[in-house]
A = this chain, B = another copy of it.
Amino acid sequence: MARELRVGLIGCGQHALMYLLPALHYSPIHLVSVCDTNAERRQRVKRQFGAEADFEGIGAMLRGPQLDAVIACGPPDLHRAAAIAAMDAGLNVFVEKPPANDLAGALQIAEAARANDRHCMVGFMKRFALRYQQAREIAQSRSFGKTTHVSIKYAHWNCPDLRWMLVFMTIHVVDLMRFFAGELKRITFERGEAAGQYTFAIQAVAHSGTLLSLVTSSQEPRVKEHCEITGEGEVVIVRNVIELEYHRRVSPTRLFTSDLHDVQLLRPDFAIPNPEQNTLFLQGYAGEIQEFANACLENRAPSVTIDDGVQAMRLVELLAGNKSGTFELTE
């Protein structure tokens, strides 16, 4: 049997139960310990997912059966505390996003990673969503040309307050900007408010020259995510994380007719069970856990780390602290 990563889970709530724990089954992971202050929750997870031991506290778990890595999923400050404790104990760690309550917390984790020479992966699962992976692959192909523009609209239901919206929702797409366009150089935004709900119109220029337009709003009744990446004469569109449409370059003399090769579609076949239509793969949960397991087993940094978490929190703080303006970003 191939080597498996021995993992301890901190936080046995609904989110772990529905998304992270089922994703473990697609990865070379052995769930050894579970930890939660609520005994019923941790014992349920222990039994349903076959863990060997359960603990009330992080310290006890880290002193328990030997682990290679920790996965933490709970309130943001738990992520911070768990990540630091795990790395101080010499383990790699995966934390759900946001990595901490604020930028300061994220920086503490980054410091702990450096000090202990350990890796902290942050759960930006959208980077591992099947369609976004495919979109980026297309965007990096020769025929696509330079990425000239990235457009993201992410809208959703009402949020309790501005900070909640930013750290739990907006953070996803703030990270996607860097995923598709690289480091940002300048950002401009306008924030609107109506009845306690917020709208952000954001645009940015990346060091690569790519322009970005991002809209995020808590004024919509449903969660909707639309992403378009434009190259030079080509565009790839991802709708709601599941459907990808690729419009290929056409001859400049053929404006008004179309042929079969112009538009290509990737769409899951939901009428048959298979990984390509499994929500865990479509939304990226399976992929991020696989990346974490593989990176740990291969002794390398995962493709998303706390440094990405720090950059995302830096943008979150900017959006939280200003109503509008243009900001030059320095790394």
Contacts and interface: CB of A to CB of B under 8 A. Distances in A.
Contact of A25 (B48, B154, B262, B277): B48
Contact of A221 (B1, B46, B233, B242): B233
A165 to B, nearest CB: 14
A167 to B, nearest CB: 16
Interface string A272-301: 111111110011010000000000000000
A308 interface: no
Interface stretch (A79-87, A108-116, A197-205): A197-205
A207 interface: no
A174 interface: no
Contact of A276 (B235, B240, B252, B258): B258
Contacts of A261: 264
Nearest to A231: B219
A169 to B, nearest CB: 9
Contacts of A242: 270
B221 A249 contact: yes
A41 B323 CA distance: 57
A155 B230 contact: yes
A50 B30 CA distance: 12
Given A211-B192, A271-B240, A201 B247 contact: no
A263 B194 CA distance: 23
B272 A250 contact: no
Nearest to A250: B221
B149 A217 contact: yes
A271 to B, nearest CB: 4
B267 A146 contact: no
A149 B271 contact: no
Interface stretch (A16-24, A68-76, A309-317): A16-24
Contacts of A278: 18, 279
A253 to B, nearest CB: 10
A247 B222 CA distance: 8
5 contacts: A1-B40, A22-B25, A221-B234, A242-B270, A265-B265
